[in-house]
Structure 1
Amino acid sequence: MYSRIVSVLFYMFFTCVIFNPQVSGVTLYFYLVIPFFDPDFWRFLSATVRRWSGPLVIAIAVSMLGSPSAAARVLSIAICIGYLMYTMDRRINYLHYWMGINIVFAMLQFTLYYTDRSLSWQLGPTQLAQTIWGQYATKTFTNFFEIFYFARVSGFSREAGFFSSLLMSSLILYLMTEKVKKKMVALYLLGLFIGFSKSSMLLFIFAALYPFRHTLRTVHPLVILVAFMGAVSMFGVFLADHSFFGSQTFAHRFAGYPFLFDARLEDLLLGLNAQDVLKHYLYLPYIHLVQGEAIAGVPFAGLPASVAEMGLFSALLLFGVVAFTASDGFVMLLVLLITSTVSMTTVTSFVPIAYVILYWPRFAAYRGERMQQAANGFSGMAFNRLRRARMSRAFLSPGLETSLSVRDASVHDATRTRFESSKRLGRWRR
């Protein structure tokens, strides 16, 4: 019961980001601390440490070379990944329950937008965060406005775009790891409709890629990473040649790719912050389109955001660690798409979920091996008891010997049945 309470609190703060305060411009994510109040989580980490410690140490070390802040975020993401997998392994995962609560609240915002718009805005993320935390409210944006004649809302997320990304990543994780229920899928689709954003388009990309998942899984994740970066770079350069058609949205998401070709080599190697971009590269036409984002500290998104912050050498090493630890090419492509609107080291909820998608096939295989070993151990114990019973059959009556054989056989069958049932429930859905 205690572990379940901790899990409920974790997923509340994890999915309802506005419940976390902000101090001196830094959001204090409670969900990074809550998992350590569960002793079983500590035991889970110690039991699996040999699986994750090496890659994590390398990722933190290469991030530290370029940006201590990035290294801290990598560690924070690792905590989230570990706890998400722990709760999924223990079957105390409340992610989708809390996403359902978010969607229901978003439906209330959506309805009030047409019936009582002022109350709808009062229930928006900005007003709610300020009501809860006052001057320590986390940074939010109540961007309720109509797209295609329908309003978009944000639930308990910072703003509609983040809500859409959270919905999309959670839905993909649900489809890949859970026993799919039509009602839950319909609820997610409703949430994506009322929280419509550019991130929602990922649903159509995912649907288009899904039939080719088996082919993509045979491609090494590093090849997927290089191909993705090359293709998006060409697209970004094309858009830059046309000044991104005057769109700030396109500029923010793709301007980082042509910037990698326009920036000075020493700036790429050492990294540069948003102020440096505005100071030295404002002569580039597309930088004017992202000037507002640069003032806010995030001029670029996706892979170029990490390159600009960490420097080319550290960023490429980190990308390499992610690619070589990824389960397969299909999930690698999904992660690149999910994180295309932010940096790969962003701590906000949907990024750790993306990494769980990235590593879940390997974790599912590891869990299956562990269950197989446990089943074999129980079977071996039953076999030894059966053998000892047969060795002493000279001292037993025939009726008692038969009873022992039937009992040990039933223990073996029950153990195998439990293992097969667990394997079906936790399988990687192909």
Structure 2
Amino acid sequence: MYARMISVLFYMFFTCVIFNPQVSGVTLYIYVLIPFLDPGFLRFVGSTFRKWSTPLGIAVLVSLMGSPSVAVRVLSIAACVGYLLYTSERGLDCLHQWMTINVLFALVQFVLFYVDYDLSIQLGPNNLSKMLWGDYATDSNTNFYEIFYFSRVAGFSREAGFFSSLLVASFVADVVRGTASRKMILMYCIGLFISFSKSSFVFLIFAALYPMRKRIRTVHPLVVLIAFIACLTLVAVYLARFNFFYSDTFGHRLGGYAFMFDARLEDIVGGINAHDLIANYRYLPYVHLIERDIQGAGVTFAGLPANVAEMGLFSALILFGVIAFTASDGFVILLFLLLTATVSVTTVTSFVPLAYLICYWPRFAAYSAKRRAAERPPPRLWPYGAASRGISRQNMPQTE
């Protein structure tokens, strides 16, 4: 009962991100600390230590070399992923229940958008977060507006785009783990419809890739990672010639790949922060295009280039290598890259740990099955087992 209560609290803060406070511009993710209140999780961590300690140690070490804050985020993500794996294995997973609550609340926001617009804004993430935490409310954006004649809403997420990313990541995680049901698929589809954003297209890409999953699984994750970077780099360099057609959306998500060719070598090797990026590279049309986004978010770019800018080239490449060599197969790492394309891979917000869960689940499922088989007691001899169940010797079948 206690472990179940801890799981409910974790998934509440995990899926309802605006329930977490913010201090001095840094969001304090309560769900990172909650798992350590469960002794069962601590035993799970201890029993699996040998499997994950080396790659995690390397990731933390290279992160410390590039940026101490990244190292903290890596450890936070590791705690979340470990607890997601633990609750999945022990049957304590509450993701379905809390995602249902999120979608139902988003439906209320959606209906009120047309019935009582002011009330829908009052129930938006910005006001709810301020009502809970006041001056310590986490950054959010009640970006409710119509797309294709229908409004989009955010549920208990920071904004509609993050809610859409959480829905896609949860849905893909269910499919990969084999826990998807027809009711939950319908629930996810409703949620994606009322939170429609650019992140929603990952759902369509996943649907297109799923029939080819067996072939993609045979490709080494490192090859998939390199191919992914190469493809996005080619697209970004081409679009940068046209200033991303003056779309700050595409500029923010793809500009980092083009920046790798325009930046000074020392800024690529050593990294660069948002302030220096604007100060030194504002003359680049696409940097000027996304200047407001950079200042508002306090980060440089989205996707993998964000880690290069924050950590420096060599530290980021080693971190990417750790992810590639620990991923289960080529298909899941491709899903991971798609799900984290709009943020840094060291972002702690909920859909990123879910992306890591997807990335490692096939290997963990095989390891968990093997571990359970090893922990299972050996089969007893039949006569001894029969006697222990109170079967008398005269009723036992006679052997010749």
State the TM bucket, normalised to the shorter chain. over 0.9
Q: Which position in structure 1 is the counterpart of 2:11?
A: 11
The 5-angstrom pairing of residues 266-277 of structure 1 reads 266-277=266-277
By how many angstroms is 1:373 displaced?
Answer: 2.4
* Count of paired positions: 396
Structure 2 SS opposite 1:70: helix
Tell whether 2:350 aligns with 1:349. yes
By how many angstroms is 1:400 displaced?
Answer: 5.8
Q: Which position in structure 2 is the counterpart of 1:127?
A: 127
By how many angstroms is 1:401 displaced?
Answer: 5.0
2: CA distance between counterparts of 1:39 and 1:29? Answer: 20
Contact 1:106 1:153 in 2 (8 A): yes
One-letter identity of the residue aligned with 2:55 = P
Moved over 3 A (4+): 381-389, 400-403
One-letter identity of the residue aligned with 2:291 = Q
By how many angstroms is 1:385 displaced?
Answer: 4.0
One-letter identity of the residue aligned with 1:141 = N
Q: Which position in structure 1 is the counterpart of 2:69?
A: 69
One-letter identity of the residue aligned with 1:244 = F
Q: Which position in structure 2 is the counterpart of 1:414?
A: none
Q: Percent identity?
A: 59
One-letter identity of the residue aligned with 1:307 = V
2: CA distance between counterparts of 1:388 and 1:136? Answer: 66
2: CA distance between counterparts of 1:223 and 1:347? Answer: 26
In our comparison, the structure showing a higher alpha carbon Rg is: 1
Contact 1:290 1:299 in 2 (8 A): no
By how many angstroms is 1:177 displaced?
Answer: 1.2
CA displacement, residues 16-52 of structure 1 (integer Å, 9 cap, x when unaligned): 0100111111111110111111111111111111111
Aligned-residue CA RMSD in angstroms?
1.8
Q: Which position in structure 1 is the counterpart of 2:374?
A: 373
Structure 1 SS opposite 2:234: helix
By how many angstroms is 1:383 displaced?
Answer: 5.9
2: CA distance between counterparts of 1:197 and 1:374? Answer: 46
Tell whether 2:384 aligns with 1:399. no
Contact 1:165 1:338 in 2 (8 A): yes
Q: Which position in structure 2 is the counterpart of 1:241?
A: 241
One-letter identity of the residue aligned with 1:359 = Y
Contact 1:291 1:299 in 2 (8 A): no
Tell whether 2:79 aligns with 1:79. yes
By how many angstroms is 1:176 displaced?
Answer: 1.7
Q: Which position in structure 2 is the counterpart of 1:95?
A: 95
Q: Which position in structure 1 is the counterpart of 2:113?
A: 113
2: CA distance between counterparts of 1:18 and 1:140? Answer: 8
Contact 2:192 2:200 in 1 (8 A): yes
By how many angstroms is 1:10 displaced?
Answer: 0.4
Q: Which position in structure 2 is the counterpart of 1:182?
A: 182
More moved, 177-186 vs 277-286 = 177-186
Q: Which position in structure 1 is the counterpart of 2:341?
A: 340
The 5-angstrom pairing of residues 415-430 of structure 1 reads none
By how many angstroms is 1:372 displaced?
Answer: 2.4
Using the size of structure 2 for normalisation, the TM-score is 0.96
1: CA distance between counterparts of 2:240 and 2:299? Answer: 18
Q: Which position in structure 2 is the counterpart of 1:327?
A: 328
2: CA distance between counterparts of 1:79 and 1:117? Answer: 39
The 5-angstrom pairing of residues 12-31 of structure 1 reads 12-31=12-31
2: CA distance between counterparts of 1:326 and 1:83? Answer: 18
Q: Which position in structure 2 is the counterpart of 1:210?
A: 210
Q: Which position in structure 2 is the counterpart of 1:427?
A: none
Q: Which position in structure 2 is the counterpart of 1:394?
A: none
By how many angstroms is 1:384 displaced?
Answer: 9.1
CA displacement, residues 148-188 of structure 1 (integer Å, 9 cap, x when unaligned): 11100000000000000000000001112134321110010
The 5-angstrom pairing of residues 298-309 of structure 1 reads 298-309=299-310
One-letter identity of the residue aligned with 2:301 = F
One-letter identity of the residue aligned with 2:5 = I
Contact 2:70 2:346 in 1 (8 A): yes
Contact 2:300 2:309 in 1 (8 A): no
Tell whether 2:164 aligns with 1:169. no
CA displacement, residues 321-372 of structure 1 (integer Å, 9 cap, x when unaligned): 0000000000000000000000000000000000000000011001111232
One-letter identity of the residue aligned with 2:218 = T
The verdict on how the C-alpha distance between 1:364 and 1:384 changes in structure 2, with shifts beyond 3 A counting, is farther
1: CA distance between counterparts of 2:361 and 2:275? Answer: 38
One-letter identity of the residue aligned with 2:279 = K
One-letter identity of the residue aligned with 1:103 = V
2: CA distance between counterparts of 1:205 and 1:288? Answer: 30
One-letter identity of the residue aligned with 2:318 = L
One-letter identity of the residue aligned with 1:256 = G
Structure 2 SS opposite 1:214: helix
2: CA distance between counterparts of 1:62 and 1:383? Answer: 55
Contact 1:13 1:30 in 2 (8 A): yes
Structure 2 SS opposite 1:155: coil
The verdict on how the C-alpha distance between 1:34 and 1:399 changes in structure 2, with shifts beyond 3 A counting, is same
2: CA distance between counterparts of 1:287 and 1:112? Answer: 38
By how many angstroms is 1:388 displaced?
Answer: 11
**Structure 1 unaligned regions, length at least 5:** 390-396, 406-430
2: CA distance between counterparts of 1:101 and 1:178? Answer: 21
Contact 1:237 1:258 in 2 (8 A): yes
1: CA distance between counterparts of 2:206 and 2:351? Answer: 16
1: CA distance between counterparts of 2:272 and 2:387? Answer: 72
2: CA distance between counterparts of 1:347 and 1:313? Answer: 22
